[in-house]
Amino acid sequence: MNENGYKELRRGGYLTPTSAGLIQFGSPPETIKDTMGTAEGAPNIFVLPNVFFHVLKGITVAELEFPIYYNFFFRKKKTYIVCTREQREQFKIVLTESLFGPDAINLASEYINREQTFGYPDMAAEIEYFKGGRTLEDHVHFVVFNNENRVRINHVEIEKKPNHFVIHDARWSKTTNVPGEINFNIVYDTGQRLPEPYQPPLLGVTCLGPSHGFDPEDNTSGFIIWINHQGIMVDPPVNSTEWLRASNVNPRTINSIILTHCHADHDAGTFQKILEEGKITIYTTETVIHSFIRKYNALTRIPSRELFTLFDFVPVVIGRSYFINGAEFRFNYALHSIPSLSFEFYYQNQSFIYSSDHLNDPGRLAELREKNVLPEGRYKDLLDFPWHHSIIYHESGPPPLHTPIAYLNSLPDEIKKKMHVYHIARKDFPENSLLTLCKFGIEHTFVPEIEPPEHEEVNRLLDVLNNLDIFRDFPIARAREFISIVETEQFPRDSLIIKKDTPGDKFYIILSGNVKVLAEDSGQTGQALKRYGTYEYFGEASLILDQPRNADIVAETDVVALTIEKSRFLNFIKGSDLLEKFTRLTEIRKTGTWEVLSGSRFFEGATSAQKTQLELLMKLKSFPAGHVLIGEEALMDHAFIIKEGEVEVSSADLLFEVLRRGDFVGELFQLQKNAPSHFQFCARSDIEVYAIESNALRDYIANNPGMYMRLNYVYGS
């Protein structure tokens, strides 16, 4: 403990000893790993902070699922949650969804032949079996602040102040002040950082974590399947996006997520990925996605309708095939405490099965059949696990929710040799086994031998078209022309790709690697004004304006780029709106848009691609002091970003905030609903602002859901 009487946990949150026991304030993901192995042990009293969802990182700082599991199943104790009445209602939804699954289940529409489909489960009976008659009250006890913002637990009184908590311990005659704002620290074994940006294989599997949520030695389970050089995240653990960047893996190479079920160790990283950059596609069932939405609606208070707009959802049906990145996928429901999906896929000469969290134990299956938990078809379907696949990824863990490692280790040698086991601590894995324990890290990516498909290079070029926002609306007929005019070029690290003041001769699209645009007169090893990575482009300005290059551009890593010669490029964009867009982009950048966005508290975390897309929508305008940009109760036809000057935010003549350079002016949530503004935004001084038309901003947010959270700002907070 520090001199203030509390300890800051490694992953965030605060821990303080009291006569009533240890009390934890805030609980960022996986803090149970910080406390369960300590001499004091894990606490069973948690105080929720005022703000428990970190919008910029997309995570909650009040993740209580795993502390509750740990206290109940390992220590046979209830968890006490100290909170407001509103927070109690929010967390009842979150915890009920995680512990017991949806209240009502009807899977008929999720099976190809409805109830007549072979293997159709009685999911309600399965959930009830694992539930074992327990209720939420068996796991948690809510202690609610009274009207004076105080609660008492035994001899300890906790008082909630605007910016901190005060603990009055009568038995110990002690008063402790604990910060009210809960920070979090990213703790993630990054493994080996690759010297060059990762080149996704034709087929491969990268383990994001081999273990479970109670193992302090290893990352929590999840992985990436690489197919056709594109990634599919499967149940990514929290902070996976940070790990990708730290490992030199461009997150834009991942275009999809398979969400199998809604436990915190599986869905927290999913929400982070949704809020990262471009719109992601999620594959799961209606049952699982609605569970996910209910959880994050309760955590964020973002309406369900708005949450659904942040990603593309493909509802999977059991018994139907889905083609993802060129592989044929089929899904099924595993056996778990809440609805949980397994899947298999076929690609070229390889096939793959993922068990998901699953109780795969013939003896237990027979027991559940005898108890009428499993109908005959479901029993036979689960018993006939598809061990024939060439690659098997199977979970293991303690029963009754998981597959015993002893069962997997008892299987025939030919099965064990092709099986990769995850969701198990290294210490629990059998020695000298033919099973393979999944190993975390991009450097340990499993890459099987694969027959390359026909037209592999053409597929890669089409992926580029699909990932470039400027070409996304081009008709499919133009793809043939694109393929015929691009060339592939390689540039070694530190080489000069474009020299300032030379004639423009090519347009560049980065296929792999990173480049930096050097600040004026900084020299080849100098300061980078901008950086671009995979699926970003550069070099268009001098081609369109027929002017010399305006900056040096250097390969920051080894770079593979697609290039299009000037006359071919201009002919390719002829007749589209790209010529106008590129001209507008060049002109608006002369006003300093990039510098404003890069220095903004709202936009500094935006990617280069997000900033470029936004620049295309920005128009510079000037207004005198006293001009009302947006009136209170007025509809917003524009939002604004301040270039110079100050803007006052007020309501009913009460000043809430003063906005300055780089700040966003407008209420995004109201703008999205086309509803009147709650505030007046008035120029405090003569100002220069970038105006963005409302419909254009709505479209921008739809394609960049991560910006939704950044701009959905509460003024005066």
Domain count, the chain: 4
User: Are 412 and 382 in the same domain?
Assistant: yes
Average pLDDT, integer, range 320-344: 96
189: confidence class by pLDDT, cuts 50, 70, 90: low
CA 15 vs CA 28, 45, 179, 242, 327: distances in Å: 12, 10, 11, 26, 48
365: confidence class by pLDDT, cuts 50, 70, 90: very high
User: Are 12 and 28 in the same domain?
Assistant: yes
- Pick the last residue of a domain from 416, 444, 472: 444
**pLDDT tens digit string along 657-702?**
999 999 999 998 888 888 999 999 999 999 999 999 999 999 898 8
Q: Are 190 and 183 in contact (CB under 8 A)?
A: no
Compare 340 and 458 and report the one with higher pLDDT: 340
End-to-end CA distance of the chain: 31
CATH value at residue 522: 2.60.120.10
29: confidence class by pLDDT, cuts 50, 70, 90: confident
User: Are 390 and 313 in the same domain?
Assistant: yes
User: Are 306 and 422 in the same domain?
Assistant: yes
Rounded to whole angstroms, the Cα distance separating 49 from 327 reads 45
User: Are 519 and 380 in the same domain?
Assistant: no
Q: How far is CA 510 from the centre of its chain?
A: 24
Average pLDDT, integer, range 450-461: 84
User: Are 154 and 37 in the same domain?
Assistant: yes
User: Are 153 and 216 in the same domain?
Assistant: no
Q: Crossing angle for the helix pair 85-100 and 286-300, nearest 10 degrees?
A: 160
- In this prediction, residue 526 carries a pLDDT of 61
**pLDDT tens digit string along 576-590?**
888 888 888 888 999
Q: What percent of the chain has pLDDT over 70?
A: 97
CATH value at residue 339: 3.60.15.10
- In this prediction, residue 696 carries a pLDDT of 94
In a domain, 188, yes or no: no
- In this prediction, residue 717 carries a pLDDT of 62
Q: Which range marks the domain in which residue 570 is found?
A: 456-588
Q: Of 329, 354, 328, 351, whose CA–CA distance to 340 is shortest?
A: 354
- In this prediction, residue 2 carries a pLDDT of 75
- In this prediction, residue 636 carries a pLDDT of 94
Q: Check whether 523 has a pLDDT greater than 60.
A: no
Q: Of 185, 142, 182, whose CA–CA distance to 163 is shortest?
A: 182
Compare 266 and 42 and report the one with higher pLDDT: 42
- In this prediction, residue 461 carries a pLDDT of 85
User: H/E element holding 565?
Assistant: strand 559-565
List the single range of 105-119, 519-533, 569-583, 608-622 with lowest mean pLDDT: 519-533
Q: Check whether 125 has a pLDDT greater than 70.
A: yes
In a domain, 196, yes or no: no
Average pLDDT, integer, range 547-563: 91
Q: Check whether 504 has a pLDDT greater than 60.
A: yes
Compare 23 and 5 and report the one with higher pLDDT: 23
Rounded to whole angstroms, the Cα distance separating 347 from 624 reads 63
Q: Check whether 288 has a pLDDT greater than 80.
A: yes
Average pLDDT, integer, range 319-338: 96
User: Are 370 and 297 in the same domain?
Assistant: yes
Average pLDDT, integer, range 226-235: 94
Whether the predicted model's global pTM rises above the 0.75 cut:
yes
